[in-house]
């Protein structure tokens, strides 16, 4: 979802996984203006190294985010297993959720 969706849904205690196309500076601005809904959102990350590095920058900018959503097209690949391990090692206190799309 978008930041706008998260702001609207968060007022009612509803959860949103934010799409992976926002940059860390956009996350920081959103978080500064919406601190009360941070418990109701997840930052989304793909499974390649570039996206993991972006995830790290976002979580450094907004450390109050406690949910990470891993977005993957094929949940049965070794690459997916590897990113779950890497994410868990880097963020042992975060809740990891997964968005898997099967075609």
Convert the pLDDT of each residue in 3-25 to its tens digit: 999 999 999 999 999 999 999 99
Count the domains in the chain: 1
- DSSP lists the bridge partners of residue 72 as 100
Q: Full-prediction pTM beyond 0.85?
A: yes
Residues 6+ apart with CB under 8 A from 72: 46, 47, 80, 83, 98, 99, 100, 101
Domain that holds residue 76: 3-100
Name the pLDDT band for 101 (thresholds 50, 70, 90): low
Q: Is the pLDDT of residue 46 over 70?
A: yes
pLDDT (0 to 100) of residue 97: 96
Q: How far apart are CA 5 and CA 15, in angstroms?
A: 10
């Amino acid at each position: 979802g978008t930041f706008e969706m998260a702001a609207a849904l968060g007022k009612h205690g509803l959860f949103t996984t934010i799409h992976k196309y926002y940059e860390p500076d956009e996350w920081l601005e959103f978080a500064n203006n919406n601190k009360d809904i941070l418990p109701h959102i997840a930052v989304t990350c793909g499974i390649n190294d570039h996206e993991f590095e972006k995830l790290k920058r976002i979580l450094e900018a907004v450390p109050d985010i406690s949910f990470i959503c891993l977005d993957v097209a094929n949940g049965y690949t070794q690459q997916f297993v590897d990113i779950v391990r890497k994410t868990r090692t880097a963020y042992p206190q975060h809740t990891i959720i997964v968005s898997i799309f099967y075609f």
